[in-house]
Chain A
Amino acid sequence: MKVLLFVFIASAIILAALAATFPEVLLNPGPLMKSHQKLEKKCLSCHEPFAGVTSTQCIRCHKQADIGVRKVSDIVLSKDTAKALFHRGVIAASCIDCHVDHRGIDAAKALKSFKHEALSQVRQKECITCHQNKTPRNALHQYTKGQCSECHTTSRWKPAAFDHNRYFPLDGNHTANCAACHNEPGNYKKYTCYNCHEHSYSLMVRKHEKEGIVNFQNCMKCHRNGNREGQGREGSGDKDDD
């Protein structure tokens, strides 16, 4: 029992001393990125005892306003507006939400999957600032002025929450821009069919009255598929008008 205790204490002391002297060999879980290599022996530059890595430690060297503008060593960088703008838009002291280390010398590997929550509320609404190459060009998106987040989530672009065909098919007869039907900016719940030549109000009144239909304000109720012939026509006595 004495031997067990003695060897245990002696080994623990030797190992602790070795770990403190050569942390890069005994404790380092993986190579640091190239720019952090000089910190290999200085674990406490980034790690706070019993608290892990905190963004506070990062900010000591990496000032938020300087990211993409100048290096830690004060060398001014070539213009990288996107990087600089992006980092100014993220919430202060949220470095570790995206960045890690000990994944090898390539800094590109030291990134976690991006979380939109790390962005400030204002930046979260400016999807196109980052997703410039994903600006949609199709008929549905061409005239939209609203926020992407009205239909899309931040986890993936597709499936988007909105499928126009569920409400009304944008087929060959109806390739109008959004504003032609949704004439209240930003409010796509409201629509009108009277904005085009074929569906002028006076013509519609004439056509419906001829058929004995009085309640025809809600076009979609009968013409959901966009055809001339309505489905389930309303009679003159129908009071449903929503």
Chain B
Amino acid sequence: MILIHSGIHFNAMLPWAATAFMLIVTASGHVGQYLLKQVREEVKIKMKQLGLEVTEDILERQHYWDILTLKTLEQWRTLHIPMVSVLMALTLIHILSITFFLNWR
């Protein structure tokens, strides 16, 4: 959709950088999603081993704290969050430049 919206131009760097970053951030988001799933599974197994009853509510709370403390997710966040910021900046400048140069009448 993004490529169709741009008319697939191959010249201006800014929109292409924004598109590339969007793909990178999307890929990074999927990595984060995978890590979360792994954490969830790990918590489930650990709680079973400890003989605790696993309900969705307990799992969610436990899960939340584990996410914040888990080293792998922290590392992922340190990379993912700045990339999201750069993508937002690229998108903003892209929209501003289009608004500035295009004829809207």
Interface residues of A, Cβ cutoff 8 Å to B:
3-9, 11-12, 15-16, 19, 25-31, 43, 47, 49-54, 102
Contact = CB atoms under 8 A, between A and B. Distances in A.
Contacts of A8: 85-86, 88-89
Nearest to A23: B97
Interface of B: 9, 11-14, 81-82, 84-86, 88-90, 92-93, 96-97, 99-105
12 contacts: A6-B85, A8-B89, A11-B85, A15-B93, A26-B12, A26-B13, A26-B14, A29-B11, A43-B101, A47-B101, A50-B104, A51-B104
Residue among A4, A15, A30, A53 with the highest chain B CB neighbour number at 10 A: A15
A28 B11 contact: yes
A19 B94 CA distance: 10
Contact of B103 (A19, A25, A53): A53
Nearest to B77: A3
Nearest first, the 5 A-B pairs at minimum CB distance are A52-B103, A11-B89, A7-B85, A8-B85, A12-B89
B104 A15 contact: no
Contacts of B101: 27, 43, 47, 52
A15 B90 contact: yes
Given A28-B12, A43-B101, A52-B101, A15 B84 contact: no
B50 to A, nearest CB: 34
A30 B9 contact: yes
Given A19-B97, A28-B11, A102-B11, 8 more contacts: A4-B81, A4-B82, A8-B88, A15-B90, A26-B14, A29-B9, A50-B99, A50-B100
Contacts of A52: 101-105
Nearest to B84: A4
Residue among B14, B81, B102 with the highest chain A CB neighbour number at 10 A: B14
Contacts of B84: 4
Contacts of B82: 3-4, 7
B85 A4 contact: yes
B9 A12 contact: no
Contact of A7 (B11, B86, B100): B86
A12 B92 contact: yes
B74 to A, nearest CB: 12
B100 A30 contact: no
Nearest to B10: A30
B23 to A, nearest CB: 17
A42 to B, nearest CB: 13
A157 B12 CA distance: 40
A53 B105 CA distance: 11
Nearest to B93: A15
A102 B11 CA distance: 10
